A and B are shown apart, each in its own frame.
Chain A
Amino acid sequence: MKRIAFAVAAFAIAAAAHAAPPSEASIRELMDTTGARANMAASLQNLAKALPQILRMRAETMVRNNPKLNEDQRKAEMANVERRMPIITAALQKDMNDPKMVDELYNQVVPLYARHFTQEDVKALTAFYRSPAGKKSLEVMPVLMGESAQAAQKIMQERAKRIVEQTK
Chain B
Amino acid sequence: MKKIVVALIASFALVQGAFAADAAPVPAAANAAAVRELLEAMNYRAMWKASMDQMAKVMPGMMRQDIEATIKADTRLNDAQRREALLNMEADLPKMADVVHGVLADPGLMSEMEGEMITLYSRFFTADELKQIAAYYRTPVGTKSMQLMPQIMAESMAISQRVTIPRIRKAMEQFQRK
Contact = CB atoms under 8 A, between A and B. Distances in A.
Interface string B134-156: 00100111101100100110011
Interface residues of A, number: 53
A144 interface: yes
Q: Chain B interface mostly helix, strand, loop or mixed? A: helix
A88 B103 contact: no
A165 to B, nearest CB: 9
Contacts of A149: 13-15
Contacts of B91: none
B159 interface: yes
B65 interface: no
Contacts of B80: none
A36 B57 CA distance: 32
Interface in A63-95: 84, 87-88, 91-92, 95
Interface in A13-46: 40, 43-44
Contact of B106 (A112, A144, A157, A159): A159
23 contacts: A43-B160, A44-B164, A51-B168, A84-B175, A88-B174, A91-B171, A101-B167, A105-B160, A109-B156, A121-B145, A125-B145, A128-B141, A132-B132, A140-B125, A144-B120, A149-B14, A152-B113, A152-B116, A153-B15, A154-B19, A157-B9, A160-B103, A164-B5
Chain B interface size, as a band, is 35 or more
A96 B171 CA distance: 11
B99 A163 contact: yes
7 closest cross-chain pairs (CB), A and B: A153-B13, A133-B132, A151-B116, A124-B141, A88-B175, A157-B10, A91-B171
A112 B159 contact: yes
A154 B21 CA distance: 11
B178 interface: yes
Contacts of A148: 116-117, 120
